[in-house]
Structures are given as C-alpha cells and as structure tokens.
Amino acid sequence: MENKFLSFYDLDITGGFWYDRQKLNSETTIKAVYDRFKETGRFEALKQNYKEGQPNRPHIFYDSDVAKWIESAAYIYKKNKDESLLVLCEEMIDDIEKTRRQDGYFNSYFQQFEPEAIFTRRTDHELYCAGHLMEAAVAYYECTGRDRFLKIMCDYADLIEKVFLKDKSAAFTTPGHEEIELALVRLYKATNEKRYLELSKFFIDERGTKEEDEYDFAKHNYAQSDRPLRELSLAEGHSVRACYLYAGMADIALEYGDKELFAACERIFNNITEKRMYVTGGIGSAYQGESFTIDYDLPNNTAYTESCAAIALCFFANRMLKMDVNSKYSDVIERIIYNGFLSSTSLDGKAFFYKNPLDIDPKMKDRLTSTKDREHFPETERLEVFGCSCCPPNITRFVASIGDYIYSEKGDTLFVHQYISSKADKVEMESNFPFGGKVTIKTNNYNNVAVRIPSWVDKYTIKVNNVAADYEISKGYAYIKLPENALIELDFNMEVCLVESNPEVFINQGKVALTKGPVVYCLENIDNEAAVHKISLKEELNAEIEYDESLKAEAIYTDAYKKEFTSLYRKVNSDYKKIKAKFIPYYCFANRGTQEMCVWVNFIN
Amino acid sequence: MENKFLSFYDLDITGGFWYDRQKLNSETTIKAVYDRFKETGRFEALKQNYKEGQPNRPHIFYDSDVAKWIESAAYIYKKNKDESLLVLCEEMIDDIEKTRRQDGYFNSYFQQFEPEAIFTRRTDHELYCAGHLMEAAVAYYECTGRDRFLKIMCDYADLIEKVFLKDKSAAFTTPGHEEIELALVRLYKATNEKRYLELSKFFIDERGTKEEDEYDFAKHNYAQSDRPLRELSLAEGHSVRACYLYAGMADIALEYGDKELFAACERIFNNITEKRMYVTGGIGSAYQGESFTIDYDLPNNTAYTESCAAIALCFFANRMLKMDVNSKYSDVIERIIYNGFLSSTSLDGKAFFYKNPLDIDPKMKDRLTSTKDREHFPETERLEVFGCSCCPPNITRFVASIGDYIYSEKGDTLFVHQYISSKADKVEMESNFPFGGKVTIKTNNYNNVAVRIPSWVDKYTIKVNNVAADYEISKGYAYIKLPENALIELDFNMEVCLVESNPEVFINQGKVALTKGPVVYCLENIDNEAAVHKISLKEELNAEIEYDESLKAEAIYTDAYKKEFTSLYRKVNSDYKKIKAKFIPYYCFANRGTQEMCVWVNFIN
C-alpha cells in the first residue's frame, strides 16, 4: 500500500514560520523574479523574434527559468486566486503555442538559432527545458483547471517519445542534464497516459549502459552516465542533475515496484547524507562541475551547495519516504528547509544565493592574483538575478508547495513528517517550529498517527488527550493508537547544542556548529566584538536566547573566548580572553552587508 | 664599518649535519641534476643547433638552469677539486663563446627562435637568464681562477648597459623577472667595474616609476612594478622574483648607503616574516602567480612555497644582516635552512619539490572533477626534473655555499650567525645543530664575539674558558668580551615545543606545530596508527626522542588522541582515545611514498 502524501492543494498553511515565508513569496518574491526575468529577456524569448545585436540573446536554459516561474505562479494562484498571475502565464502560453513547431517541438533557443542541431547535442539542456515545461504545464492544469498548456506539452512529450524511444532518431539516447525523468512521471499522473511513465523508465534504464557524448571538461561521472543506474552507490557529478535524476529513479522504483532501483536509490541517499552533506543540508562541494566530490570533502568557504541542489535533494528524499517511512528521509528534508534551502533567499525576499557557503572571509578574494580565478570566489551577498538564474524560480515553486512535505496517509494511519502549522480536511496542526518544539495535532479521522521524532531531539513528550501516550518507535517515527477526537500534543525539547563533524571531515576537526532544534546557527562580524574566525567556544556556553527584531528570529548569546597577540608564531598558551558571542540562524546570514561569517566555530575541548 | 661575511671559499664545513648534506650534494645531487638536464636538452641548447621537430625545444629559461648548474659545479670544485666538473663546464663555456653574438649578446632561445624579439618582451626572462649567467661567471672565476667566462659575461653586461642605460633602445626599461640586479652587484665586486653597480642601481631606481608591459593574467604587482621601490611596504607578487629583487635592493642600499632603500627593505622583510611566512620559512601562498597573497593567508595544503623562494629569502635576509646585525634576519635563515629549504630535496639527494606544502591529503586530488584543475594539485612526492626546473640547481648552489651564512666580522668582533661545524683561519666551531644545542667556538683572533640567541630558545648558558660568561644582549645577539685563546661554549636548551599561529591565521586556529630547536616536525601516516589529520595533541606530550635510522634524524614520540565515530554529525563530546604519535622532521616528509602529512596538528586546549 502506497504511503500517499497529501498535496499542498488540499491543505493550507495556517500560521507561523512558513505562513510568513509563503506570504513573502507570493507578495514579493514571485514579482521580483518576474521583473528580473523580464528585464533579461527570458519571457520575450518565447516569442522567438530575437534579432542579432539586440540585448538578451536567449540562452539554452531560458525556457526552464520561465517554466519554473509559471509553475510557481500556478501554485501561488491556487491559494490566493491572484488572476494577474494567470494573465502573465496565459501570455507566455500564447507565445509557446504560437512559436512551437507543428510536430510539437518547442525550444526558444534551438528553434531560433540552431534548428539543425535539434536533438543532436546531448550536453545542451534541451530535454531539461522540456521537463520543466512539462512540470509547469501539469502544475498549471492542476491549479487552474486549464488544459491548453498541458496539451501542448503532451504533444511535445509524444514527439520526444517518437524520436527517442520509437524511432531512436536523436543523436543521443539520454539527456546530459536530467529533469525530464521526473517530469514525465508527473505528466503521466496528470494525464494517466502510461506511455509517459514508460518513456521516463526508458531514460532511466538506458542511462549509463553505453558510451554517450560527455562534457569535455569533466570526468565521465559528471552527468551520471558512467554506469547503469541500478549499479550506482555513490552520489557523483553535478549535484542538481544528480538529484533530479535520483528523484526520477525513485519515482520509477515506486511506480514499477522496482526493488533493485530502490536499493540503488537508498545506497545513493545514504552516501549523500552520511558522507557528502553539509550540516546545513547543502550538497555539492566543488564549483568545478558544480559537483559532488569525494566522501567527507566538505570545504566551508568554497562550498558550492547550490540552492537548486538543496531543493532537488528534498525531491529525492520525499520520494524515498513514499516507499519507506524512515525519518532519515524526513530529517534531511527538515535540515534543508530550515538551513541550506532557506539561506538561499534574502530576508526581504528579493535576492538569492546560487551558492550557499558555510564560511565567508571577504578579504580572501584579494588573495588571488589572477583575475580569472577571482570569478570563482563565492558571492558574499545575494543577487537579484544571475546569468544562469535557475535558483530563484526553483525557490518560489518550492516555498509555494512546501505543504507537500507535511502529511502522508497509508490505510488508517496518518504520518506527520514536518511540523508546520496547517489545516487539511482530516487534520489540523499548530507548531512553533523551528524556534519552539511544541506541536498540537487534532484529528478524528485516523486510527493511528505516526509522528517523526527529529534526530536532534534528546528529550520529548507525547500526550494524547492530555495523557502521556503509549507509542512504539519504528525507523524514527512514534506510532500511536488514536482515540476519537484525538488531540496529540508533542513537546520536543529544543536545547542549544554543539555539534561536531565526523573526524574524517578533516577541515572541521576542533570545530563545532551551534544548533537549536532544526536550526543551524552562525556567527557574523556585525554582531560580535571579535572577528568571528577568531572566536572559540567551550562546552559551557551559558546560552541566552533573545528574539532579534531585525532578523525576526531567535539569536543566541553565549560565552566565548579569543586570543590576541602580535607575533606570527609563539609557544602555545591558554591565555584566552572571555567575551560574548552572538549567534544568528544560518539562514539569516549576509543580510547586513559583506562580512566574515562562519558556521563551524573553534572549540576549546 | 661593514659587517663583512666570511665567504665559504675561506672556510670548511668540518662535520655534522651540513657536512653530510654537502657530501650528498657533491657526490649525488650535482650529478643527478646534470643527468636530468642533459636528457632534457638544456646543455645542448647552448650549441644553438636545434632543428624544429626535434625533442627538447629550448625554452626561454633554459640558460638560467644551465647557469645555476655551472655556479654549483664551480662551488663544489672549489672544495673537492673534481676536475671532471670543470671539463663539463668548459664545454658549456665553449658553446656560449661560440654561439654568442659579436656584440656580446647571448640567449640560446632568442638567438635561435626570435632574434627579432631580442630586448622587446619584458615578460620573457631575458635579463633573468643574463643575471644567472653573470653569477655563474663570477663563481667560476672565483673558484677556478679562469676568467674566460667572466669576460664573456662582462661583454654581455656592457651591451646591456648600452642598450638599457645609455641608448635606452630596448622596448622596456626594467625586466619582468628580476635577478640581474643582484647579479650585477656580484659582477661589480668581482671586476671592480663600478658601471655594473650603477646599472644595477638604474634597474632599481627605474622600477615602478612608469607604466611598463605587464603579465596579462595577473595584477600589476605580480612583477613588483606597481610603484617606485622605495615606497614599498608589502611583499607582493611572484615570490621568487620579489625576493631576488629585494636582495638586489639590499645590495644597492648597502653599496650606496641608501637609507630610504634600506627602510623599504626592512618594511618588506618585516611584512614577510611577521605576516606572510609559513612556520617552515616557506613563502608564497598561492600557485596563482606563484605569489605572495595577503597578510595571514597561509593555506597549508595549497602552499606554493617554492624552493627557490626559500633560497631567495635567505639571500635577502643575509644582505640585510650585513647592514643591521639583528637576529630577526639570521633567525629566518635558520628557519629556512632546516625546514622549508631542506624539504626541497629527497633524502637520497636525487629528487626535488618545487612546492613545499605543509599539508598533504592525497585523496583530495580526486575531489576535482576537472582535469585542468587537477594539474594544480601539489605534488605529493619529489620529482627528478620539472618542465620549469629552476629549483634543483638553485638547491645545489645553495648547499655548496651554505658556509657563506655562518660568520661575519666587523672590526675586532666576530659574529656567529649560524651554528654549523666549520673551520676558518681565525675561528673553529663544533655544533650539534639542528638536533643538539651544544656549540663550541675556538678563536684567538678577535676581542669580542657576538653569538645569535635563537628565537626558539628559552634557556641557555654561555661559558668562556669554562666560566659563565658576562654578556650583553643586543638585537638578539649576545656580545661577549674575549680573553686570549678563547673557548666559547654555548648550550641552547632544545625542548620539544608546541607552537601556535597568530589568531589572524584563521586556518591554523586550534592547531599547533611541534618543534624542537630550529626543526619543525610533521606527522606522516606511515608512522602512525591513526590518519594524521585525525590526531590531536594536548599540552602534556610526554615526549620521547628516538633516533630514526632510516631517516637519519631524531623522531619524537608523544601522547596523542583521536576520536572515532560513524555518523557524519553528532552532539560534541570528549571521548578521545589515547594513542601514540610519531613526529619526524618536516624536511624528511614524502620520502616513503605518497601519504597524508601535516605540520599543523589539532590541539585540545
């Protein structure tokens, strides 16, 4: 029996942390992204009337940016019924309908600039754009009931099926940038047309089974094509592409009951979360190839940790959760949504990080003599738009659909995965997450509830109708039999906690990260009397929590220590000066100018 | 009155550490470098008979490699009278004499391949090669009494004077790669021809006073041409070029009594040694531009720390010492010769490091997806020859002339700067350095002696003729009045010591380096039960010293600690397991295969 997730379509976020985020998303962020995309010609590109010499020459990935914006707008419309969003979407769909080829093909770059190269270059994002357009079309159909865009994309999917699966007339078999695999599964579910599921399975089955064109600057595993997917054990290559693929693999594993594929997915998931994931949930350790690297290689200042990769890992984890109710999946989602994902967006909702470093030392940019090398120094403040601006509309669609991650049901059991205040037909929850651990859940429609016990919690209580509940723990969930009209009260103790990394993460030896509940904290110079890289902590923190009005978040004050001396080297001694440190949630960093920041803080053991 | 150094010509290294090094240098290293240079066509290039398509097409810097080999051979011949070395040198000088232009010009690259470009490209090492040839000619003359090569190079210097100083007919004013400045001063001293000194001063005076051609990949300070030299305060750009220049500046400051230039030299020296120098004495923190970077930027694993830069800093420091007897100069020389210089050569004397990293984690090479980026991963073992093989013959000439750094005299005072067993006409010394702190000095020719008190020493005794001596300390030297037939006995306590970096060196926070006397130690996996990056130390070391036969050096065994757990993150705790660690001198690293190595070790404070 499938563990079936409640769609965010069928519930409302009713208050608290994510209510505020969704409000910002629908009132500010979606419009900010629109404005920047309009300025940079991304929507105009759909009209396919670009003339050489004009600004904003369309790029091979522009359609995917537009698609994610439409998907976001559809989700937001679903909740706020803002018709102005649909007006914008309809114009875009008009353009797509007008300019697409008769055979169903649509790509605003290839049609205009290289029609002869259509379906010949594996490395050029064609099916990636197609996948995002399909996701957008499904979302638009589901949120508005209008099926024009869906039909357009079905035509395109039919063409892709013909070219790739039936005729095998394309110059490559599987795409260099994955995404279409999971998109086709969504298209199948929206249309009930099994051919789309089979086409997705075809791309999964074929990938890595034979030599295909590769990116010449990178190793063969950059595009996850170095071996058949069922043989994979390591997360490798471009981290966004990888996790979109893994999500598609999990979809196929679920739809076909493919245990071998599930096992590969689990091996990969374990490899990511046990050896290749930052404490913020960020993934992808190297800007070279925007990629996973090797086990325990988690550099903080050059962390690539693309915002899209964090989102993609949530997609992957949630699909695994459908097949295996195990808190290792939902814990990772929680880690991401409160840290490495949330950091992607400025507190005013208008600017974005592509990379989410765990350490900033701005002066290090000046260490590089070569102007070329300087380009790879991570941004120290968020930007409103990027040349490759995949992240902003990915963020808007993810925030709008965060409700997808809260509940699932299987038979007469309700599963609660994320503690987000919300109301659906059969359940209602109030939660103080992420800054408070109290949660109440009301339901009269299930015989059992299974609630996730977060991995960070030491102490917690569970009451049902005001009485300590009997429960059994299985794979990180507490299973509880429910009476009628159940009021479940959870209280997860959120202590300030110092976390250490596995000793194999050499770079974090002798350092700790401060956390409280699901939130990872960081230090910024603006809050501290010492440069944050010179601050040390001891186990005795004497932590005090104080609400920071400007950040709208809990700050944590602790005892801390620093050394000051002038010589470059000296005989070691312990003459620390005691000071105070102020920690803020990691996701709040870089909202107050360029400055030093660190998550991993020196520890005096 | 000049503080005049005794030349190594006038003394012998009589035993101990440097005796062994010089033996290896003259019996093995000089021949190994010869063989590799011969195989790669460096000597053949002098004949200027290269035909396109043949292997080993001469490079713009080949002449400088040959020159340093001749200089090394001359020094070795001076001591061991090995005529076979002179036979080889004479053949090379024959070739130079035959192929040089009538006007005195000689460059085996430009004459063969780009005669039209002679003296037109500032960035192409022409005067750098000329400088090394001049140094070689001076050395050859001084060590053999034969003046043919010297005359050849005087002709060349005369041409350079005409083109650059008199006619100003070259396309540039000052060279992109410095070296000729200090070489011309040597040529002046060997010939007493003041025009060469003036030409050197011209290059120093003109540099940075106007816009000149620069390297397009780098910032303007890469070649130290961003401002007049007397205004410099920071050590910047390519570290070898920089220190050759600074040595030349110091020469000119001394010869002309130029206080402004001396002050600039001192500011630069302080900047290097107080903010930009590794604990090993290595300099140059970035492979990009092989350059100095910014204050306190001392990454250990990507340390560039070129062997030539360590040597060049000795040149610079020793010239400063001539003007100012201050142990800050001689301490740095000691730091370099026992650590960051010595590490450049394998224990068998046949292989070399160009870069001398302070940290190796071999698996990190695999973190890079891009094949191009992998090229910049530092070598983990020494090589016999490099494409750009400037370091090996620089090492051979430096070891052969190490005697230049021991003594100086000023009036009736003898200065002892380095504790190296040696015998000159007027003084004899026995020393256990670097592993023992006992030194005896016998002299009957000076009224005073000034001995350097090393910066690392806590406790020491000075006896003269078996009685505790009266002495006064000035700038790190103990000044002692001497009786007749003085026997000075020094005993510097060499304790095992843990050193820490200034807190501004963020990367070394919470880490210590183990030292004993002048020697910096390191950990290698082969000697230890735990991967060395996972080893931690506490202040209580319980150190035991044991002679390691295979390394012919003192190893140090200490208490150490490690953690082992499997999760990627956990709540911090202090469950260390006590283990033993074995430290070896840093200079011995990488003689037993590719493996993890670290100088900076985690410290439990």
Cβ of A370 and B217 within 8 Å?
Answer: yes
Across the interface, which of A511, A568, A602 has its CB nearest the CB of B501? A568
SS3 B460: strand
Q: What is the model's pLDDT at position A214?
A: 80
- Does domain B407-492 match CATH 3.40.50.10260? no
Of A243, A206, A236, nearest in space to A218 by CA = A236
pLDDT at A368 over 80: no
Q: Which residue among A135, A290, A409, A554 is the active-site one? A: A290
Interface contact B249, partner A, CB < 8 A = no
Tell me the domain boundaries of chain A: 14-213, 228-404, 407-492, 496-603
Chain A partners of B511 at a C-beta cutoff of 8 Å?
510
Beta-bridged to residue B492, according to DSSP, are: B460
Nearest to B238 by CA among B261, B202, B274, B214: B214
pLDDT, tens digit (0-9, with 9 covering 90-100), for B152-187: 999 999 999 999 999 999 999 999 999 999 999 999
Short-list A352, A409, A359, A339, CA closest to A386: A352
Is the Cβ pair B534, A571 closer than 8 Å? no
- Asked if B503's CB is within 8 angstroms of A565's CB, the reply is yes
Q: B60: pLDDT confidence band, cut at 50, 70 and 90?
A: very high
Share of chain A above pLDDT 90, in %: 92
This prediction's pTM? 0.95
Q: Give the torsion sign (CA, A248, A254, A256, A257).
A: positive
| Whether A369 and B506 lie within 8 Å, measured CB to CB | no
Give B355 to chain A, closest Cα distance, Å.
17
Mean pLDDT of chain A: 96
Q: What is residue B218's predicted lDDT score, i.e. its pLDDT?
A: 66
Phi (first) and psi of residue A476, to 5 degrees = 85, 5
- Give A502's contacts in chain B (Cβ within 8 Å): 565-570
Rounded to an integer, the average pLDDT of B417-421 is 98
A236 pLDDT higher than 70: yes
Task: Using an 8 Å CB-CB cutoff, list chain B residues near A503.
Answer: 534, 562-565
Question: In this structure, are residues B333 and B540 in contact, taking their beta carbons and an 8 Å threshold?
Answer: no
Catalytic sites of B, residue numbers: 290, 390
Amino acid at B482: L
Q: Would you tell me how many other CB atoms lie within 10 Å of the CB of residue B466?
A: 7
Q: DSSP 3-state assignment of B456?
A: coil
Rounded mean pLDDT, A438-463: 97
A-B contacts at Cβ under 8 angstroms: 171
On the question of pLDDT at B213 being above 90, the answer is no
Interface test with A, best of B509, B535, B577 (most A CBs within 10 A): B509
Per-residue pLDDT at A254: 97
Q: Quick check: B150 pLDDT over 90?
A: yes
Per the CB < 8 A criterion, the answer to whether B490 and B497 are in contact is no
Whole-number Å distance between alpha carbons of A330 and B334:
58
Q: Report the pLDDT value the prediction gives residue A541, as an integer from 0 to 100.
A: 98
Q: How does pLDDT run across A47-76, given as a tens digit for each residue? A: 999 999 999 999 999 999 999 999 999 999
Count Cβ atoms within 10 A of the Cβ of residue A67 and give its class: 0-12 exposed, 13-18 middle, 19 or more buried.
buried
Residue A314 annotated to the active site: no
Q: Does A375 touch chain B (CB under 8 A)?
A: no
Give B366's pLDDT tier (boundaries 50, 70, 90): confident
Average pLDDT, stretch A141-145? 98
pLDDT on residue B67: 98
Which chain A residue has the Cα nearest residue B277? A568
pLDDT average, residue stretch B483-500: 97
pLDDT at B379: 87
Predicted confidence at residue A173, as pLDDT, reads 97
Which among B364, B367, B497 is the nearest to A571, CB-wise?
B497
C-alpha neighbours within 13 Å on the C-beta side of residue B182: 23
Interface of B with A in 266-325 (CB under 8 A): 273-275, 277, 279, 285-286, 288-289, 291, 293-294, 297
What average pLDDT does this structure show over A444-449?
A: 96
Q: Roughly how many angstroms between the first and final C-alpha of chain A, as a whole number?
A: 50
**Residue A486: φ, ψ to 5°:** -80, 135
Return the pLDDT at A276: 98
User: CB-CB: which of A361, A368, A572 is closest to B286?
Assistant: A368
Q: Give one DSSP letter per residue of A28-47, joined into a string.
A: IIHHHHHHHHHHTTTTGGGG
> Is it true that the peptide bond before B299 is cis, omega within 30 degrees of 0?
no
Residues in chain B closer than 8 A to A506 (CB atoms): 361, 533-534
Per-residue pLDDT tens over the stretch B216-269: 766 678 899 999 999 999 999 999 999 999 999 999 999 999 999 999 999 999
Smallest Cβ–Cβ distance between B564 and the set A279, A503, A533 belongs to: A503
Report the gap between the CA of B253 and the closest CA in chain A (Å): 27
* A-proximal residues of B, 491-510, CB under 8 Å: 497-506, 509-510
Residues of chain A contacting residue B528, judged by C-beta atoms under 8 Å apart: none
A72/A396 Cα distance (integer angstroms)? 6
The distance of B604 to chain A (nearest Cα, Å) reads 6
The catalytic position among A143, A243, A390, A598 is A390
In this structure, of A214-228, A546-560, B432-446, the range with the lowest mean pLDDT score is A214-228
State the pLDDT at residue A253.
98
* Pick from B367, B502, B563: CB nearest A293: B367
Measured in whole angstroms, the distance separating CA A472 from the mean position of its chain's CA atoms is 31
Determine whether the interchain pair B502/A534 forms a contact, defined as Cβ–Cβ distance below 8 Å.
Answer: no
Name the least confident of A173-182, A356-365, B379-388.
Answer: B379-388
Q: How far is A534 from chain B (nearest CA, A)?
A: 6
- To the nearest whole Å, the CA of A335 is away from the closest chain B CA by 12
- Between CA A231 and CA A244 the distance in angstroms is 17
Residues 105-134 of A with CB under 8 A from B: none
A507-521 mean pLDDT:
97
Q: H/E/C letters for each residue in B45-60? A: HHHCCCCCCCCCCCCC
Looking at residue B333, its pLDDT comes to: 98
- State yes or no: cis peptide before A378, omega within 30 of 0: no
Q: For residue A427, give Cα distances in angstroms to A245, A413, A421, A423, B574.
A: 33, 12, 11, 6, 44
Which range, B209-223, B353-367, B443-457, is most confident?
B443-457
- At A370, the amino acid letter reads S
pLDDT class of A171 with cuts at 50, 70, 90: very high
Q: Which residues of A touch B277 (CB under 8 A)?
A: 568
Two tokens, residue A332: 């990772």
pLDDT number for residue A218 = 66
pLDDT in tens, A239-285: 999 999 999 999 999 999 999 999 999 999 999 999 999 999 999 99
For residue A574, the model assigns a pLDDT of 87
**pLDDT tens sequence across A101-116:** 999 999 999 999 999 9
At position A117, the amino acid (one-letter code) is A
Give Cα separations from B155 to A196, B79, B104, B134 (angstroms): 83, 29, 5, 10
The answer to whether A288 contacts B373, with C-beta atoms less than 8 Å apart, is: yes
